[in-house]
Structures are given as C-alpha cells and as structure tokens.
C-alpha cells in the first residue's frame, strides 16, 4: 500500500508537495488546476522523465503490484469513439490507435475522392468547351497504339461499323443472362468522348474483373441502342 507520495516539477507542483496517509481508501479533491489530474498522471506514468523528482513510498514490487489509474488521459488512450458511429467504442490502446489511423485514412480517401470527382468534372467541361482535356490528353499518351493498331477515337465511331478503339474504364455494370452467366456493360472514355461496350459472357470471362481506371483496347461492331455501343469480340488490357 502506498503511504507517501512526493511530487515536484510537473504542472502546478513547482515546489515539493507531500501526501501522506495510513488509510486504505483516500479521497483527494480540490479546485480545477490544483493538481489532482497531475497527481493521477504521475501514478500512471511514474517512469516518464517529467516525473524524475517525484516518488512513492514504499517502493512497489513491480512483479506483484500494479497501480491502476482511470483518468481522462487513460480514457483518451484506451477508448476510441468514432465521430461517424456514436456510442461505438474501440477498447485497448492498440485498437484505439488503429481506429484513429483508419479514420484518418478514410478522411484522406474522402478528400482524394472529392478531388478526383472535381478533376473528372473539369475534364468533362474541357471536352464540352474545347474538345480535348488540357491536363490529360489521352490521344497523346497512346498515340503509338492508334498508329500501330489503326485505332479510331471514340468520337469518330459510327453506327454498324467494325470498330477498333482504346479507352479508360469509367464504369462497369454486371448483369446475368437468361442462362445465369455474367456479362457486363462497360463505359470507356478517351479525350474525345465516352461509349458503352458490351462484353458477353465468353469475352467477359476471359477479361476477368475490370476496375475503373484500367486501359482497355477493344475491337468489335458498333450498334445503336439508345446510344452507340460496341459489341466486343476481341480485347487487350493495356494497364
């Protein structure tokens, strides 16, 4: 049992203060700023350099005795409540730290997503106003493919023609056929326009899982159904 606490240095304890007791249970109270929290924090982190001039008596048997402190700093370290899930807590210092890192990463992801959406909107406006993307000129980046494979820009495709083109995957919508096979409608874009391509099950199974941002070179036949589409019969994933 602790019967003496000597504390000097941290916070309001500029001069040595000594607490002595022979009781098993002790109540310490006082005004705000009088040093109650500092005292509890010393008991929680006795080995920190901040408490070099502080001590307890008798010394603890570290193998058999432990001081447990439940104060505001302990709660902040061990309990973590997400702003997005009120009333849900993570318990333990490690879990709390992990949750903070996760929430920080999610916040950064939301900012990045907003920036991406702004950039996407800017590209669409550039296409609408001047016909090209200033910051992202797809044709310049893949000029060698256009030349080597005789590709056509999406804006220059016409109805009921054999078509070869290249574009960035913008959206993927999977659906099931009557035979319960998976096919997909995929929107691709270059710096001139967008077009929907149709991947029937046999082709889609060969491609595997498509993700937004992938570069896809395709060939097939165009058809008009509400908007122009390409029924894909061959493909190559560029990146």
- Name the CA radius of gyration of the chain, rounded: 33
The whole-number pLDDT of residue 233 equals 92
Query: Has residue 216 got a pLDDT over 70?
Result: yes
The number of residues making up the chain comes to 239
CA atoms 189, 195, 199, 203: torsion sign: negative
Mean pLDDT of the chain: 81
Q: What is the pLDDT of residue 82?
A: 57
Residue 46 CA: distances (Å) to CA of 6, 20, 100, 118, 222: 12, 18, 26, 51, 76
d(CA 176, CA 130) in angstroms, rounded, equals 39
Q: What is the mean pLDDT of residues 93-119?
A: 70
Under the banding of pLDDT at 50, 70 and 90, the label for residue 213 is confident
Segment 221-226 long-range contacts (CB within 8 Å, at least 24 positions apart):
221/160, 221/161, 221/162, 221/163, 222/157, 222/158, 222/159, 222/160, 222/161, 222/163, 223/159, 223/160, 224/159, 224/160
Looking at the predicted structure, is the pLDDT value of residue 47 above 70? yes
> Where residue 195 falls among pLDDT bands split at 50, 70, 90?
very high
pLDDT of the residue at 90: 53
Q: What is the pTM of this model?
A: 0.45
Report which DSSP code applies to 172.
E
pLDDT score of 220: 93
**What integer is the mean pLDDT of 15-29?**
85
pLDDT band at 134 (very low <50, low <70, confident <90, very high): very low
Residue 125 pLDDT > 70: no
pLDDT at 239 over 60: yes
């Amino acid at each position: 049992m602790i019967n003496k606490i000597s504390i000097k240095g941290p916070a309001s304890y500029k001069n040595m203060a000594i607490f002595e007791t022979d009781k098993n249970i002790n109540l310490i109270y006082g005004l705000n700023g009088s040093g109650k929290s500092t005292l509890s924090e010393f008991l929680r982190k006795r080995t920190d350099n901040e408490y070099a001039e502080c001590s307890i008596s008798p010394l603890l048997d570290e193998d058999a005795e432990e001081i447990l402190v439940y104060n505001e700093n302990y709660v902040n370290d061990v309990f973590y409540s997400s702003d997005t899930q009120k009333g849900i807590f993570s318990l333990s210092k490690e879990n709390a730290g992990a949750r903070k890192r996760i929430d920080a990463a999610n916040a950064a992801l939301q900012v990045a997503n907003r920036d991406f959406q702004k950039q996407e909107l800017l590209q669409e406006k550039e296409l609408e106003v001047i016909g090209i993307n200033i910051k992202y000129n797809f044709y310049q980046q893949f000029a060698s493919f256009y030349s080597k494979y005789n590709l056509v820009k999406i804006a220059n495709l016409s109805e009921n023609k054999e078509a070869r083109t290249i574009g960035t995957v913008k959206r993927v919508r999977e659906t099931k056929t009557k035979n319960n096979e998976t096919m997909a409608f995929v929107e691709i874009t270059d710096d001139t326009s967008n077009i929907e391509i149709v991947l029937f099950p046999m082709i889609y199974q060969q491609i595997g899982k498509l993700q937004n941002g992938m570069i896809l070179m395709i060939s097939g036949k165009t058809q008009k159904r509400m908007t122009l589409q390409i029924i894909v019969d061959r493909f190559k994933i560029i990146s």
